[in-house]
Structures are given as C-alpha cells and as structure tokens.
Structure 1
C-alpha cells in the first residue's frame, strides 16, 4: 500500500499563502455572519411592521364592511323612499252629471251606495293588479254632481222611489270609505266639469299618483284637458272609466286604456220624450179627453214632427230647468201674482211654438201662480 501523500507545504512561502487564504475565508465568514445578523434584525422589524399593517388592514377591512352594510341599508332606504314618493295613489274622478249610477243601485238607498262603492273599488283594484301587478293601491274617489237636478230628473224619468232613495244612496256611498266622496256642486253651469278639470290637473302631476281613473269620457268638453295631459307626458297615468255604451268621439280617438264595470252606471243618456209628450196637450187649450181608439187627436199627430224638429235637451240639468206654461185661467189669476216677464209670453202662442220654445229651454217662458186668496 502506498503511503498517504504529504500535504505539508513544501516551502515556507506556500505555507504563508495557505494561512492568508484561511484568514481571508475567516474574515468573509465573520462578515457573512454579521450581515446575517443584520438581515435577521431587518426581518424581525419587517415582521413587526407587517403585524402592525395587518392589524390596521383588519381594522380598515372591518370598517369597510360596516360602511358596505350601511351603504346597503341606505340604498334600501332610498329605494323605499323612491317607491313611497312614486306611490300607488289612484284617483278616480267621476262626472256624476253624466256618469249616473244604475237605477238598480240607487233604488236600494244606503245599501245601494255601499254596494256601488264596493263594486267600484273591487273592479278598479282588480284591473290595476292584472295590468300593473299587485301593490298597496290607495284609492281616492270623487263624484261631483248636481244632486237636486239629478233627483228631479230621476223623479220625472224614473219613479218617485228613485228620487226618494237617492239621498240615502249618497249617504251610503260616502260612508263606504274615508276616501270616497260624492259631492253636490249645485246647479251652476258646468260646475262639476270645473271641479273635475281642477283635480285632474293637480292630481296627475303628483309623483305619488300612480293612475287617474277618469269617468267623464261621455263629454267632449274634456277633450282639450286630456290632450294637455298627453302633451305634458302624463298619458300613461290615465285610464278611462266608461259609463255610457258609447264614448264621446273626440275622447275615443285618444287611445287611452278603458275600464268597463258592468251594471255600475246607466249606459244611456237620460231622455226627455216621456216627460214632454204627456204635457203637450195643456199648451194649446186642447180638452184632455182621450180620442177614440184608432183615431189620434191633433196633438198626437203633431208631436212626432215637433219632437223631431226641436233640439231637445239630453241632460237632466236641462230637463230640470224647463219651465212649463199652463192654460190661462183669468178667474183664478190676479195681477199681483203675474210675473213681470208675462208680457213676453202670449196665451195664444201656437202649440208648435210652445214646444219649440220649451225644447230650446227659452228663458222667455214664464209661469203664472194660483192666487191663494180665491176661495171655491
């Protein structure tokens, strides 16, 4: 076996070089250890800073979560507020001078008023739910009419029972709900129209108003007001409530949604033929003796032609305002009971002229009064 190699330096110079390398390596090792210690301190400091930043980030993250929760709640409140401002308020405007509740309801008195209000409410809510979804609709109903004129017309065209039941019918309708009102506007010309036009203008512009149910589509007098609402951008808020079988042509052309409630309103205008014809005989002094069967008297012969040529009023307010002239009875009359306008009306006025004047609601026709001082 060969002996192990001799590693001892062969010369003193080589030994010195080896010692120098060892010292250099030792210095580098010490330098590395020193740097490592510094790096360890830096790492510790960074870790400490990291922990601080992590805690701060956690706090900020928790605060951000709180802000997000608050923002979500604020957004929800905003939506609720917008929905509340938008609202689902439904205003129903009824021109009671034309849209007249059915005789079957009126004759029931207070019970009929309650039933009419219930039928109106149920039908409107059902229509809105089907068309626009289920919401908490608040229904307001305003009916404007000339109560005295309508009662007189019902008494003349229908029966006394209708006239006597109407007051109770109004009471029942008004008691049906807090927001249901049937209001008497008096006999001023177009008083109901003025009320309805004002409410239409004001209510349709409110953001809380979802829809306006308009029951005046029988009257062309509302055409300009409805067109104004279309121009203002509120056409989508209008729904027509149909009363008569046929709507006024000017309104029918506007293409609004239409709601029809069966058996709620009278579907035809109140006519006047039945109250004019029986009174014709008293205007020309014709003896009130029934003519022979099959042989009509002169009055009956003249009546159709006169009624065709005369422009008869078609509303109950016009009917109620007609003044009727009785035959002259000098033995019962006294000058102090004769009206100042009697000179404008001749006792010998022809039958046709009386009917024509009556049909045109002439203000020249006056009436005489029976003198109560005359004793039989």
Structure 2
C-alpha cells in the first residue's frame, strides 16, 4: 500500500499519454504559495565554484530562513520546493532506493523536511515519470511505488513530476496502475505550457496561451478548489523583467488563480520586489476561497479585460476582480462590487 496519501500535491508537467485529474482530497483548496528553485538556480551542482547558488541543502535552508525572517510566510508562502538535480547519479546498489547527493545534501532529505516542518513550512520534491530526470538523474520508471513510499517516509509535502525520458508509446502496466490508484487522487495542480524564462516575451507567450484558452473556458472549467492550472513560476526579483513587467506578471498570476511560486534569490531581494510579492490585496484575490479562475471578458487591438468572480460580499453584493491589460502594461488589479443592474459577460 503506497503512502502517497501523506503527500500534499502532485504536479504533472509534460504532455504525456497518461490522463490524471485532480480529485477532491481536501488539499490545495486555494492555490499553493511558496518558492521553487528551478528558473533561477537550474541544475547547478558545482558547490566548489558556486557555493551560494548550487543545488544543495544550504540553498533550501537559506530560503526557508528568509521566508520567515522577511515576512513571506506571514502572507502565505509556505512551500520550499526542490527541483531537479538533488539526487545521486545512481540508486542504492542493493535496495534500488533513490538517494540524495551525499556531498550536497549531507543530512539527507528527511532531515531537510524536518527542518522545514519545525519552522511551520513544507518541503516539495522533484521526480520524473521517465527513466531519467531532465537533468539526467534517476527517474521513477521501474521504481514508482518504491520511490513514492520513500518520499512519504522522508516527510515530503508535495511532489512535482516531470516528463523527460518517458516513452509514451509503450504500455507500462505498472505505471498505469500506480498513476490511477495512487497518484491521481493526490493530483492538485498541473502545468499546461512550456517552461517560463526570465523575459517578458516568455510571460507574454504564456499569457497569450491562457487568454486563448480561457476565452473558450477550457482552462476555466479545470480550475477550482483542489485543482489548479499552473502557468509556472513568478519572476519577481529576477533580472529579466522591468519593474512594471514584474508588477504585471504578479497581478496576472493572481487573477488567474495560479500557484504563486517565487523563484528569485530571496536572500538578495530589493525592498520593492518584496513589496510586490507581499501585496496583501493582490494575494487576497489569488487566494479567494471561491476558487474561480479569471477569463478574458473583452479583447481588441492588444487590450484585454480579465475578470474573476470572487466570494460574494453579503452586505454589498457580487464581487469581481478586474484587470486591464494593454500589451505589456497592466493597469491595476481591483476588486469591484457589482450592483444587480450591472452585467459581466
């Protein structure tokens, strides 16, 4: 019997033949918030040349400490997510168990999970459904149930699953059984487009995809408490976007009910970046318990109006978040109360 029920969420990234959907497991009732290492730190494993930025135990404890010290945890950021390149190159020769890199994670992943839990945080981990991860480390193929049990024993709170080196043309009976019986009931969010890069062109590309698909309600119908579309990480605090572009991305992700996973180096965040990321009004829109995702209500000549239904205000009436997007500019994210005579498409 797998212990996957102890894990909080599973993220399916790539377009695999496997079909899994978020079920009502009582988890992720609002979009998860936290920090993810991939876009900023990638697969840097040389801790001699890059001790401050390599994928290591120290990197994740540092980020956890900053989440608490600088007020991120207080506004809802609670996940510290390890991405690719954390494991050893090979498995245990006798047991086949997956192992963390002993030099970069000297205390092991269970110790790191305990470190997070003792501070009121949660630890996320990365795996791959194929034979190898995208970075060339051991994948889940042939070890599905063993690895899931290992992750649960370590105390992992969420699991991100990638799709590199997966042969979708072959019928893997073991994979199907585990996916249907063990993984699907724990699937709470999914990526549905390419990886984000630290540029406005990348943000705009993702936004355009979402605009096309929210207009047909494909993505809107898929989102709600316990099941979220994920447009990828928040770039605020990185180097590729201007100040206004960073504000724009954060507002867009908020109204889209997207998971809010930061990826910048929190140890070196300027005050203005913290102000964007800790904006309580914008976060409140993202975390609204009704769980409705925004859609494009009107679009013409590069201008879009996004609207999102929010939890009704008993005293005032229906409440909606409204965002005006003009090419690469966002003119504010506001919550408005509609009177009965008003109409939203």
Shorter-chain TM-score tier = under 0.3
Q: Which has the larger radius of gyration?
A: 1
Point out the structure with the larger helix share: 1
User: What is the TM-score of this pair, normalised by structure 2?
Assistant: 0.27
Q: Relative contact order (alpha carbons < 8 A, sep ≥ 6): 1 or 2 greater?
A: 2
Point out the structure with the larger strand share: 2
User: What is the TM-score of this pair, normalised by structure 1?
Assistant: 0.25
